[in-house]
């Protein structure tokens, strides 16, 4: 199982999209992209498509985000006199009561700080969803499909993250106020962005299916109304540029209408611009659904998602906090037991150290014992060999002694031991006197004993008269 796969699932009216990225050399690379169309947007159909799109995929709960459409949320930008997060949340509790059509206990909300002002004020953007109809419903659908998401995120923030990822890759100034139109199949999100933050957004019921019809004028009109409300409510600085995101070339026809209406430059980009894809990865599912935009779903995977607010039900946070507390208590208990045990064992530490040292010596002794036995055996063998060799006469010594005792005119023909263990010397001499002298020398030698002349016979060899002799003796093994 890979440890760095991040998953984003976007649930829209037209279908369910799954995106997965993997970290490669500190960059996010798209490794999976799938789209399952929805016909009726019923709970049963959503669960079925979720199960299909996630089957056999490596989805890690701690890295799974579910994107909630902008049309299901309420956005409120507020200016509050505090920069402390707990205080800001308390102020929002008071402010939202009068600004949303639901009781506070019936909603789930979160916020992001979009600007900090010098006098100690902050501008925050709060996203609110109905607890039962949106957040808990989405969580129930995910659980029925076998999913455990880490967070529910707002689609508009995904578009901002997509834009932030493109900084340096597109000719768009970083600090310039920008209006982004993300044109999807059935809806278009109008996002006001500045300094890498979302200032406000709207979702309008015009999409890719309306680009080739008269409804395109209606989309331009909605953008105009959004611009007027944005400036009227003083949500941020004036827009200096517009960006249209769509996979369809027909969207470029909006350029003239929008520039004429807003008097600011309009750029057209595909949501797939500058997206790194894994080699041989198929985009067939995306291409088979004309008009699908991946900007919202992919944005969270391409940029730093820590700034993204989380609209998941509080019960998920409570369960995680409970597990975290249980883990912390277990760790504390373990540390306490170890501390007490260590304190009680201090008097015996020195004793244990000596016992361990003795045990280590015993172990080393046991390890060295076989080697010691082998050394003893080798020493015994050497001693035996020395004793045996000390009692024996080496053949080289015998030959050297024979040649020392033999007269010059005497030569040897053979030297051997007979069946009785006698050392037999057979040879020739020029005269019988030489044989006699040799015999006497053998008698006097300490290496020989029981010297006996077997025969000495005169013979002619090549017309030369020699004395053929044979002497037997015993080797004196106990000589000094």
**435, pLDDT greater than 70:** yes
DSSP string across 443-470: HH-TTEEEEEEEEEEEEEETTEEEEEEE
Q: In angstroms, rounded to a whole number, what is the distance separating the alpha carbons of residues 312 and 318?
A: 11
371: pLDDT confidence band, cut at 50, 70 and 90?
confident
Classified as helix, coil or strand, 16 is strand
Q: In the β-sheet with 64-68, what is the strand arrangement from edge to edge? A: 27-37, 15-24, 5-11, 64-68, 151-154
Closest CA to 79 of 69, 88, 68: 88
Which residue, 159, 162, 138, is CA-closest to 148? Answer: 138
- Residues 320-366 have pLDDT tens digits of 666 667 777 788 878 877 777 666 666 666 777 778 888 888 888 78
User: Which residue in 416, 401, 404, 413 sits closest to 446, CA to CA?
Assistant: 401
Backbone angles phi, psi at 101, to 5 degrees: -85, 20
Q: What pLDDT digit, counting tens, does each position of 146-159 carry?
A: 999 999 999 999 99
State the pLDDT at residue 61.
85
Q: Reply yes or no on whether the pLDDT at 1 is more than 50.
A: no
CA angle 192, 196, 198 (to 5 degrees): 35
In the block, residue with structure tokens 């957004």: 201
32: its two tokens: 């999976």
Q: Which residues contact 175 (CB under 8 A, 6 or more apart)?
A: 194, 195
> Which pLDDT value is given to residue 389?
53
How confident is the model at residue 387, as a pLDDT? 63
Tell me the pLDDT of the chain averaged across its residues.
86
Q: Name residue, tokens 């044979």.
A: 470
**Contact assessment for residue 183 and residue 293, using Cβ atoms and an 8 Å cutoff:** yes
- The answer on pLDDT for 43 being more than 70 is yes
Residue 318 has pLDDT above 80, yes or no: no
Residues 6+ apart with CB under 8 A from 142: 50, 66, 148, 149
Reported as a pLDDT band with limits 50, 70 and 90, residue 386 is: low
Sequence-ordered list of residues with C-beta below 8 angstroms from that of 423, at least 6 positions apart, any chain: 398, 415, 416, 417, 448, 472, 473, 474, 475
Which residues fall within 8 angstroms of residue 220, CB to CB, at 6 or more apart? Answer: 254, 257, 258, 261
Average of pLDDT values for 235-249? 92
Please list the residues that pair with 244 across neighbouring strands.
Answer: 181, 268
Instruction: State the average pLDDT over residues 278-289.
Output: 82
């Amino acid at each position: 199982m890979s440890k760095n796969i991040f998953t984003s699932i976007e649930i829209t009216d037209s279908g369910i999209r799954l995106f997965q990225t993997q970290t490669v050399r500190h960059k996010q690379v798209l490794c999976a992209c799938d789209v399952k169309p929805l016909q009726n947007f019923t709970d049963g159909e959503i669960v079925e498509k979720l199960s299909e799109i996630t089957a056999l995929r490596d989805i890690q709960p701690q890295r799974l985000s579910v994107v909630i459409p902008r049309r299901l949320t309420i956005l409120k930008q507020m200016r509050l006199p505090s920069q402390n997060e707990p205080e800001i949340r308390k102020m929002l509790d008071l402010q939202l009561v009068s600004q949303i059509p639901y009781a506070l206990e019936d909603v789930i909300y979160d916020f992001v700080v979009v600007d900090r002002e010098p006098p100690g004020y902050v501008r925050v953007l709060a996203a609110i969803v109905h607890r039962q109809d949106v957040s808990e419903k989405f969580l129930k659908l995910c659980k029925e499909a076998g999913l455990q998401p880490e967070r529910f995120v707002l689609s508009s923030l995904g578009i901002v993250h997509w834009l932030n990822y493109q900084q340096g890759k597109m000719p768009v100034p970083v600090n310039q106020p920008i209006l982004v139109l993300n044109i999807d199949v059935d809806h278009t999100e109008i996002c006001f962005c500045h300094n890498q933050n979302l200032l406000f957004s709207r979702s309008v019921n015009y999409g890719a299916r309306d680009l080739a019809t008269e409804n395109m004028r209606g989309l331009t009109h909605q953008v105009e109304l959004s611009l007027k409300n944005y400036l009227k409510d003083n949500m941020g600085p004036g827009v200096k540029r517009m960006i249209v995101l769509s996979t369809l070339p027909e969207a470029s026809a909006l350029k003239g209408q929008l520039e004429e209406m807003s008097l600011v430059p309009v750029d057209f980009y595909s949501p797939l611009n500058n997206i790194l894809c894994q080699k041989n990865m198929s985009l067939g599912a995306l291409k088979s659904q004309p008009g699908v935009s991946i900007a919202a779903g992919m944005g969270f995977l391409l940029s730093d998602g820590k700034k993204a607010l989380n609209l998941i039900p509080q019960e998920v946070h409570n369960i995680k906090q409970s597990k975290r507390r249980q883990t912390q208590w277990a760790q504390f208990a373990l540390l306490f037991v170890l501390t007490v045990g260590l304190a009680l064992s201090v008097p015996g530490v020195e004793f244990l150290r000596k016992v361990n040292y003795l045990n280590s010596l015993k172990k080393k002794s046991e390890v060295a014992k076989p080697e010691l036995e082998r050394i003893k055996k080798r020493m015994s063998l050497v001693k035996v060999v020395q004793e045996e060799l000390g009692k024996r006469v080496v053949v080289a010594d015998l030959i050297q002694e024979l040649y020392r005792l033999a007269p010059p005119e005497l030569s040897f023909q053979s030297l051997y031991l007979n069946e009785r263990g006698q050392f037999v010397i057979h040879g020739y001499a020029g005269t019988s006197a030489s044989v006699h002298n040799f015999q006497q020398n053998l008698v006097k030698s300490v290496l020989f004993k029981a010297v006996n002349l077997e025969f000495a016979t005169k013979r002619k060899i090549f017309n030369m008269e020699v004395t053929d002799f044979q002497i037997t003796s015993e080797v004196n093994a106990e000589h000094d």
